[in-house]
């Protein structure tokens, strides 16, 4: 039988009674065991994520089915058949940790590959695009989607007020309001890098890439009415129970790849996060399988403290000029330094499965024992350059140098966030491929929220929908009229 101890390991004789001055007396000041218990309880929470707070995690395996050495030197993309451990975290975006699962929202779809050259995080969503194309808009966008500052209640009028002034959101709004806006479960949705990332090979050639994770369970969705019948934690339960029973969910991993020359001549800006690369121009190529096969043992230690960041890149995989990606390269790692601390990468769920040698030292909680890095890099030299390479002091490896990022214009603001640019064609393409049943759901979902906004916002939104597709605008207008009667 294990003995109950304090956190410093000392056995405890009695955990039911505090020390008091007699049976009916006050507690005394030598109740240090009680103080430890209460003080630690006060500190059980770390700041929840401002976005993607409500999360669901699981471990799994990525199996490469197509060698990608022609495009990338990343070790986990060499040799078909190679397996790499992964950790996946799904999430809702706008709600806090204690919100519900079955809300109409984008779902986070973040995949960490524990490669032999470091962790690669593909921090994506279940939608191929996003609401905005410039990170300068991100805090405003999120404020508009979260609870109203005065009432602390959801306020659809705020959502639509933001979108009415940002037509670049039309494509993602159309996806969010479509049947795909509420997945049946986390297993029944696709994942996308959404961003354009890059690959580079040993010949220093760079290619642009988008990742797609296609659910093998099939797409299944819920209407608002069906979702309202679901328990608040139903998605968490579905995922945990499926994995526990051996019904492992999987996704077929596909990529779109574009050369630098193709990107220069392409009519669509390949780095605009509000746009997809149409499949007929850049067909999906199957490269692997993602399977989730192990539940977390401790939700807080793993799912809550996992620190995904698009800046976790590895040799052979690079960023791109996508402005939203560039903003996230800073913001995600910064969020984890604030939430967890400067040494968050030492935690078991975050540390790489390969040797870690560097000259960063100390800081809060430094020194967690790690099989790959010792504790706080042990007694190793803590400055560079030094004369101790022969003793094992780490040195840079020029063979993993990234080729130059092609940036072709002078820097200035307003070069991109143009209200005149094409914010509508792809939302219209999506509308036109929907069945009549999907269109009916889309219009109903839009009008449910938009009818709560002012007349002027309703009219601006109808104008935007009309630019996507005339029939789309006409039907929203007609449904608003009916809702107003
Ligand atoms: P395709 O006809 O080749 O592909 C259409 C895609 O749309 C499929 O991947 C399908 O996903 C997906 N889709 C179907 N219904 C919805 C929905 N309600 N919400 C989101 N995605 C949906 O067309 P294009 O490549 O020419 O793209 C046309 C439009 O399709 C785009 O403007 C975009 O809105 C949407 N789309 C395109 C993607 C791309 O990467 N090209 C990816 C996802 C959507 P599935 O295979 O899972 O059924």
In a domain, residue 360? The reply is no
Give me the residue label for tokens 């218990």: 37
337/449 same-domain check: no
Please report the pLDDT score of residue 375 as a whole number.
84
451/333 same-domain check: no
Q: Which residues of 159-190 are buried (b: 16+ CB within 10 A; e: fewer)?
A: bbbbbbebbbbbbbbbbbbbbbbbbbbbbbbb
What is the number of structural domains in the chain?
A: 2
- In terms of Cα–Cα distance, which of 353, 349, 343, 338 is closest to 375? 343
Q: Distance between CA 156 and CA 86 in Å, rounded?
A: 37
Give me the residue label for tokens 């890095």: 373
284/148 same-domain check: yes
339/444 same-domain check: no
Please report the pLDDT score of residue 74 as a whole number.
98
**Residue partners of 96: CB distance under 8 A and separation at least 6:** 48, 53, 54
Q: What are residue 62's DSSP bridge partners?
A: 84, 290
User: Catalytic: 125?
Assistant: yes
In a domain, residue 334? The reply is yes
In a domain, residue 17? The reply is no
Our CA angle for 375, 392, 201, nearest 5°, is 95
Our CA angle for 432, 438, 444, nearest 5°, is 110
Ligand 1 centre from 208 Cα, in Å?
19
318/176 same-domain check: yes
**Residue partners of 61: CB distance under 8 A and separation at least 6:** 83, 84, 85, 86, 290, 291, 293
Q: Distance between CA 305 and CA 112 in Å, rounded?
A: 13
Q: Which of 119, 125, 155, 158 is catalytic?
A: 125
pLDDT tens column, 166-194: 999 999 999 999 999 999 999 999 999 99
In a domain, residue 367? The reply is no
**Residue partners of 262: CB distance under 8 A and separation at least 6:** none
337/429 same-domain check: no
- The atom of ligand 1 lying closest to the CA of 175 is 19
325/442 same-domain check: no
336/473 same-domain check: no
64/201 same-domain check: yes
Q: Distance between CA 310 and CA 197 in Å, rounded?
A: 10
Q: Distance between CA 236 and CA 361 in Å, rounded?
A: 37
- The best mutation among 104, 106, 125, 128 to test binding of ligand 1, ranked by most ligand atoms within 8 Å of the C-beta, falls on 128
345/429 same-domain check: no
- How far CA 313 is from CA of 199, 200, 352, in Å, comes to 11, 12, 12
Q: What's 179's DSSP letter? A: G
- The atom of ligand 1 lying closest to the CA of 171 is 34
Please report the pLDDT score of residue 411 as a whole number.
66
Nearest CA to ligand 1 atom 43: 128
Among 350, 369, 387, the domain-final residue is 350
Ligand 1 centre from 430 Cα, in Å?
7
Q: Distance between CA 230 and CA 101 in Å, rounded?
A: 9
In a domain, residue 242? The reply is yes
Please report the pLDDT score of residue 410 as a whole number.
67
436/323 same-domain check: no
Q: What are residue 109's DSSP bridge partners?
A: 90, 124
In a domain, residue 394? The reply is no
Ligand 1 centre from 128 Cα, in Å?
8
Ligand 1 neighbours, Cβ below 6 Å, are: 128, 175, 178-180, 190, 219, 276-280, 426, 429-430, 433
Q: What are residue 130's DSSP bridge partners?
A: none
User: Catalytic: 171?
Assistant: no
Please report the pLDDT score of residue 156 as a whole number.
95
Please report the pLDDT score of residue 421 as a whole number.
78
User: Do residues 86 and 114 lie in contact, with contact meaning Cβ atoms separated by under 8 Å?
Assistant: yes
Domain span holding position 205:
55-350
Nearest CA to ligand 1 atom 4: 279
Its sign, for the CA torsion 469, 470, 472, 476, is positive
User: Do residues 431 and 469 lie in contact, with contact meaning Cβ atoms separated by under 8 Å?
Assistant: yes
Please report the pLDDT score of residue 418 as a whole number.
62
Q: How many CB atoms lie within 10 A of CB 283?
A: 11
Q: Which residues of the chain have pLDDT under 50?
A: none
Among 350, 367, 392, the domain-final residue is 350
Please report the pLDDT score of residue 367 as a whole number.
82
Please report the pLDDT score of residue 415 as a whole number.
64
Total count of residues recorded for the chain = 485
Q: What is the CATH number of the domain that holds 131?
A: 2.40.180.10
Ligand 1 centre from 281 Cα, in Å?
13
In a domain, residue 198? The reply is yes
- The atom of ligand 1 lying closest to the CA of 279 is 25
- The atom of ligand 1 lying closest to the CA of 192 is 42
Please report the pLDDT score of residue 34 as a whole number.
96
Among 331, 350, 369, the domain-final residue is 350
Nearest CA to ligand 1 atom 40: 276
In a domain, residue 185? The reply is yes
Ligand 1 centre from 277 Cα, in Å?
10
184/68 same-domain check: yes
Record the pTM. Answer: 0.96
């Amino acid at each position: 039988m294990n003995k109950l101890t304090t956190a410093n390991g000392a056995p405890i004789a009695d955990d039911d009674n505090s020390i008091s001055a007699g049976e009916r007396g006050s507690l005394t000041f030598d109740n240090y065991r009680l103080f430890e218990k209460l003080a630690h309880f006060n500190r059980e929470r770390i700041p929840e994520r401002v976005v993607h707070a409500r999360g669901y995690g699981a471990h799994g395996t990525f199996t490469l089915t197509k060698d990608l050495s022609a495009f990338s030197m990343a070790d986990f993309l060499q040799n078909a058949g190679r397996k790499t451990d992964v950790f996946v975290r799904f999430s809702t975006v706008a709600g806090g940790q204690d919100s519900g699962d079955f809300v109409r929202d984008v779902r986070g779809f973040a995949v960490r590959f524990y490669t032999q050259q470091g962790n690669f995080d593909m921090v994506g969503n279940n939608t191929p695009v996003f609401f905005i194309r410039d990170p300068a808009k991100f805090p405003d966008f999120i404020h508009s989607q979260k609870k109203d500052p005065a009432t602390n209640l959801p306020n659809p009028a705020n959502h639509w007020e933001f979108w009415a002034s940002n037509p670049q959101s039309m494509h993602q709004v159309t996806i969010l309001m479509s049947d795909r806006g509420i997945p049946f479960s986390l297993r029944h949705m696709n994942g996308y890098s959404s961003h354009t990332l890059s690959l580079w090979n040993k010949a220093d050639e760079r290619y642009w890439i988008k990742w797609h994770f296609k659910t093998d369970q099939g797409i299944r969705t819920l209407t608002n009415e069906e979702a309202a019948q679901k328990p608040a934690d139903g998605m968490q339960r579905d995922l945990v129970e499926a994995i526990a029973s051996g019904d492992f969910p999987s996704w077929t991993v596909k990529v779109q790849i574009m050369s630098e020359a193709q990107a220069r001549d392409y009519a669509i800006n390949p780095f605009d996060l509000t746009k997809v690369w149409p499949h007929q121009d850049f067909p999906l190529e199957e490269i692997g399988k993602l399977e989730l096969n192990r539940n977390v043992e401790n939700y807080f230690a793993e799912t809550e403290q996992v620190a995904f960041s698009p800046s976790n890149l590895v040799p052979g995989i690079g960023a791109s000029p996508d402005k939203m990606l560039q903003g996230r390269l800073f913001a995600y790692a910064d969020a984890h330094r604030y939430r967890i601390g400067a040494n968050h990468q030492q935690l078991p769920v975050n540390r790489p499965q390969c040797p870690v040698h560097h000259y960063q030292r100390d800081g809060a909680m430094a020194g967690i024992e790690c099989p790959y890095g010792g504790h706080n890099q042990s007694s190793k030299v803590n400055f560079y350059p030094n004369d101790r390479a022969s003793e094992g002091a780490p040195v840079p490896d020029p063979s993993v140098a990234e080729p130059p990022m092609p940036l072709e214009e002078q820097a200035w603001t307003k070069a991109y966030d143009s209200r005149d640019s094409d914010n509508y064609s792809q939302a219209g393409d999506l509308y036109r491929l929907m069945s009549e049943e999907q269109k009916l759901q889309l219009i109903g979902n839009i009008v449910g929220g938009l009818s709560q906004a002012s007349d002027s916002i309703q009219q601006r939104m109808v104008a935007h929908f009309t630019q996507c597709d005339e029939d789309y605008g006409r039907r929203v207008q007609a449904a608003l009229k009916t809702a107003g009667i």
